Amino acid sequence: MTFHRPVMIGDLVSCYAEVKRVGRTSMGVQIDAWVERRIDGSAEQVTSGLFTYVAIDDKGQPRPVPAA
C-alpha cells in the first residue's frame, strides 16, 4: 500500500477496485482511493495498493476461488 497524500476531515473519499489476477485459491485486487477536497473541490489520489485475498473454507484452509 502506498500513501500519496493525507485525507483531511471533511474530504469525500472514493475507492475504486479492479481484479488484476485470479488464481486457484486467491485473487489480486488493485484498490485506489481518491478524495474530493472539501476546501476547493479538487481531486487527488491519496492511496493505492495491490491486495491479495485468499478463499478459505470453514476450517480456515485455502479452497478454490468460486467461479464468477
Phi/psi for 33 (5° steps) reads: -115, 135
pLDDT at position 66: 87
8-59 pLDDT per residue, tens: 999 999 999 999 999 999 999 999 999 999 999 999 999 999 999 999 999 9
The CATH H-level superfamily of 2-54 is Hotdog Thioesterase (3.10.129.10)
Going from the C-alpha of 4 to that of each of 15, 21, 49, 60, the distances in angstroms are 14, 24, 11, 34
Burial degree of 46 (CB within 10 A; 0-12, 13-18, 19+):
buried
Q: How far apart are CA 31 and CA 20, in angstroms?
A: 10
Domain spans, the chain: 2-54
